[in-house]
Amino acid sequence: MMAGDMPVAEMDRLGAQAAAHPEWCAPMLAVLTEERFSDPDWLFERKFDGERVLVFREADHLRLLTRNRKDVSDTYPELAEALACQPVQDFVADGEVVAFDGKVTSFACLQRRMQIKDAADARASGIHVFFYLFDLLHVSGRNIEGLPLRQRKNLLRKVFRFCDPLRYTQHRNELGKDYFQMACEKGWEGIIAKRADAPYRHGRSRDWLKFKCAKGQELVICGFTPPKGERKGFGALLLGYYEEGILRYAGKVGTGFDDAFLDDFRKRLEKRRRDTSPLDPAPDVAGAIWVRPEFVAEIGFTEWTEHGKLRHPRFLGLRRDKAAEDVVRERPS
DNA sequence: TTCCGACAGTGGGGTCGCAAT
DNA sequence: ATTGCGACCCCACTATCGGAA
């Protein structure tokens, strides 16, 4: 995915800097971390569960681009329109497009909108989206990426007229721990900690950190898929939980293992092979190999999907202190 | 020396569109 | 007509390497 995907004329219209450095529009990305801190040198923003979008405007030419530089101007025509009638004629800004389900941003809602490529279809979809802007990279012909984040956010707030569907991303100073706790209580995905005096850096940087609200539970290992390519041991573990004595499918987990565990645990699984699925109903998983449901795994994830599977699952470890029969789906009260 | 950023590779759920069956 | 697959979104994680700290 290089500049070659985009016509030269298109690149030119995105500005001289884009033409000179095709990667320059890669968004700044946060690093996931386990520490939670309060610090006067940092500010803290809500973490949105949506689609990352950068907007480039030069007079009449306006483009909305995703993280992978896909043009989504026709997917979000109402956002393009709102940005096109801003008094400031020339800017590059960064933000997140979100859809709401009640008070919480819903990626599932947004997904139905995200795929639409025709502006008229998008407007008719009935799925309302908002664009939470949180950074300003260029304004009026000036590259301001080197300015401290606080100054960029100040300029962003002053230069734009914010009214729906455009929203300024508020932040809280210093009190990261408090804000994080509040975020989790409200059911948000987490918060982003940003070093307040840091410049905008393209790509991943520790000047931005993700504090994600922990979600996890034990699940029963019911089988596995074979490894692909250079992968050792197994591909993914097939997980389940008990519901009134019946083992229900909860999806797969395929990350969080190192090579030694992949090799070693495959051997232990082999000793427990059985021909039929312990899950009821048996999920349709290509190449699945079933085992007696004896192992319990601790799994971290972001949420249960509408289809009853884990979203963003990762393996955290085996649990020896919990009987498989005691594993049930934990539901928020 | 240690740490960090960048890359490649493997894995997840979900949606859509198109090609193969 | 159905199925499978890749291309997109959202991700987590491991392994490796080279250069910065």
Work out if A306's Cβ lies within 7 angstroms of strand B: yes
How large is the average pLDDT for residues A22-41?
83
Q: Comparing A25-212 with A215-326, is the CATH topology the same? A: no
Show which residues sit with Cβ under 7 A of nucleic chain C.
Answer: A 1, 32, 49-52, 66-68, 70, 107, 111, 114, 210, 212, 255-260, 286, 300, 312, 314, 316
Mean pLDDT of A181-195: 92
**Strand C nucleotides with an atom less than 7 Å from a protein beta carbon:** 5, 8-15
The protein residue nearest nucleotide C11, judged by CA to C1', is A312
| Contact between the CB of A256 and strand B at under 7 Å | no
pLDDT at A14 over 70: no
Structure tokens at A297: 């795994």
Domain segments of chain A as ranges:
25-212, 215-326
Residue A231 Cβ < 7 Å to strand B: yes
The CA–C1' separation of A318 and B10, in angstroms, is: 20
Confidence of residue A333 (pLDDT cuts 50, 70, 90): low
pLDDT at A202 over 80: yes
Rounded mean pLDDT of chain A?
A: 89
CA of A230 to C1' of B9 (A): 8
Looking at residue A12, its pLDDT comes to: 33
Told to judge if A47 belongs to the known catalytic residues of this protein, a careful annotator would answer yes
Classify domain A25-212 by CATH number. 3.30.470.30
For the entire predicted model, the pTM comes to: 0.88
Q: CA(A256)–C1'(C12) in Å?
A: 7
Task: Write down how long chain A is.
Answer: 333
Assigned architecture for domain A215-326: Beta Barrel (2.40)
Lookup: nucleotide whose C1' is closest to A227 CA: B10
Please indicate whether residue A102 or residue A120 has the higher confidence score (pLDDT). Answer: A120
